[in-house]
């Protein structure tokens, strides 16, 4: 039996675009030991496929990390399936807060060394001694304390479009890179209250345990991340301390949390927080683009890529043939092609060099 998708992705994307089916987007994760990863992966694929699930799931010996969508009328069936699972029973499901039902177009389950790449040796510290979990109400209260530091553990392209008020925003490309950078930033603040947050909480599960191991005294984490925080804020009518959009890793590329637009189009500088992937299949750079620039550049990041997409399919494939993209996947939102973004970075660098 074939346990992976075989339909062309463009066909699936078009089907999703045209579909009127109500779908619910959600995410979940859990650290637990999986003894036979391949067998667990294959059975999970069959089970989720049977429930109409689409999405991206990572499986490793240390657990599961999933972002999925499913038909709205199968949500109760899915919850029952989770409750019957010995490994997943009682897990929190982070339901999307701004959902158009167009988040995923296929089911993809991958086996990885870790469910989140962190570069840490888990045997060197106790991963269960994590930071203190905070509800939205507890987060808001502790955030008012002048001795509290709020740290965004996400990547630069995530915090660029939305973040908590007064948060420290490390200019990093990956979670692996964030861990040592944040530790250096907080080196002389080990005795202060440190609240970490991320999209759904999984990165902070490991990070909080690591920083406690490294000697930080008062480590807290936002339980359920930005997604759960937003749900609680709306349900309990609390003050919302998050401004802008919550970046998400699916076709939506963002959830609107507040009406604030805190970022700019990377091509013209107009206020904008809509991420897109360059339409050129040989590029697919992730960047922020306003509607006017999308029309001007045909949804591409540059005139160079714009010229490419107007070539024949055969010519485009020839250009892509043999080209090693390397680790460019981690350079999201960073490219000399992005005129405004590139100039803004150079301007900031020059100011830093000339500042006495």
Contacts of 123 (CB under 8 A, 6+ apart): none
139, 85 Cβ separation under 8 angstroms? no
* pLDDT per residue as tens digits for the range 279-294: 998 888 999 999 999 9
CATH number, domain 9-111, options 3.20.20.10, 3.40.50.740, 3.30.70.100, 3.50.30.30:
3.30.70.100
pLDDT at 260: 97
Q: Cα–Cα distance between 100 and 213 in angstroms, integer? A: 41
Q: What pTM did the predictor assign?
A: 0.89
Helix/strand/coil percentages in the chain, nearest 5: 35, 20, 45
Domain ranges of the chain: 9-111, 123-236, 263-354
- Whole-angstrom distance, CA of residue 43 vs CA of residue 57: 13
Helices (H), the chain: 9-18, 37-50, 75-84, 136-143, 156-159, 175-185, 202-213, 225-236, 291-296, 303-309, 313-320, 339-354
pLDDT score recorded for residue 106: 94
Q: Can you tell me the distance from the alpha carbon of 18 to that of 12, in angstroms, rounded to the nearest whole number?
A: 10
Active-site residue, 198 included: yes
CA distance 75 to 77: 5
Neighbours of 149 (CB within 10 A): 18
Return d(Cα 132, Cα 96) in angstroms, integer.
24
pLDDT in tens, 213-225: 999 989 999 999 9
Would you say the C-alpha torsion 150, 153, 156, 162 has a positive or negative sign? negative
Surface-to-core class of residue 91, CB atoms within 10 Å of its CB (0-12 exposed, 13-18 middle, 19+ buried) = middle
Count of C-beta atoms within a 10 Å radius of residue 54:
22
pLDDT values of the chain reduced to their tens digit, one per residue, 356 residues:
667 777 788 888 888 888 889 999 999 999 999 999 999 999 999 999 999 999 999 999 999 999 999 999 999 999 999 999 999 999 999 999 999 989 999 999 999 999 999 999 988 999 889 999 999 999 999 999 999 999 999 999 999 999 999 999 999 999 999 999 999 999 999 999 999 999 999 999 999 999 999 999 899 999 999 999 999 999 999 999 999 999 999 999 999 999 999 999 999 999 999 999 999 988 889 999 999 999 999 999 999 999 999 999 999 988 888 766 554 544 677 888 887 765 654 444 444 344 34
Q: Give me the sign of the Cα torsion angle 133, 138, 142, 144.
A: positive
State the pLDDT at residue 352.
Answer: 35
In CATH terms, the fold of domain 123-236 is Oxidized Rhodanese; domain 1 (3.40.250)
Which pLDDT does position 336 carry in this prediction? Answer: 82
């Amino acid at each position: 039996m074939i346990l992976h998708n075989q339909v062309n992705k463009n066909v699936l994307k078009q089907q999703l675009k045209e579909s009127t089916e109500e779908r619910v987007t959600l995410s979940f994760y859990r650290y637990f030991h999986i003894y036979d990863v391949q067998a667990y992966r294959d059975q999970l694929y069959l089970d989720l496929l049977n429930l109409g699930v689409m999405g991206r799931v990572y499986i490793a010996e240390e657990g599961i990390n999933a972002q999925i969508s499913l038909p709205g009328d199968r949500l109760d069936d899915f919850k029952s399936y989770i409750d019957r699972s010995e490994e997943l029973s009682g897990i929190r499901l982070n339901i999307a807060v701004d959902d158009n039902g167009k988040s995923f177009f296929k089911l993809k389950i991958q086996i990885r060394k870790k469910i989140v790449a962190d570069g840490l040796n888990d045997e060197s510290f106790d991963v269960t001694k994590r930071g203190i979990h905070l509800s939205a109400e507890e987060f808001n209260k502790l955030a008012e304390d002048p001795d509290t530091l709020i740290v965004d553990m996400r990547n630069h392209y995530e915090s660029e479009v939305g973040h908590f008020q007064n948060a420290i925003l490390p200019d990093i490309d990956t979670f692996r890179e964030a861990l040592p950078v944040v530790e250096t930033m907080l080196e002389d603040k080990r005795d202060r209250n440190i609240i970490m947050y991320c999209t759904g909480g999984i990165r902070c599960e490991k990070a909080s345990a690591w920083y406690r191991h490294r000697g930080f005294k008062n480590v807290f984490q936002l339980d359920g991340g930005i997604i759960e925080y937003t749900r609680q804020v709306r349900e309990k009518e609390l003050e919302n301390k998050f401004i802008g959009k919550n970046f998400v890793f699916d076709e939506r590329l963002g959830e609107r949390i507040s009406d604030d637009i805190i970022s700019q189009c990377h091509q013209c500088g107009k206020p904008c927080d809509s991420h897109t992937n360059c339409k050129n299949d040989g590029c697919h750079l992730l960047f922020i683009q306003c509607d006017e620039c999308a029309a001007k550049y045909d949804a591409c990041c540059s005139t160079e890529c714009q010229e490419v997409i107007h070539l024949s399919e055969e010519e485009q494939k020839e250009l892509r043939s043999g080209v090693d993209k390397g680790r460019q996947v981690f350079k999201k939102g960073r490219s000399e092609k992005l005129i405004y973004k590139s100039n803004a970075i150079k301007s900031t660098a020059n100011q830093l060099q000339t500042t006495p």
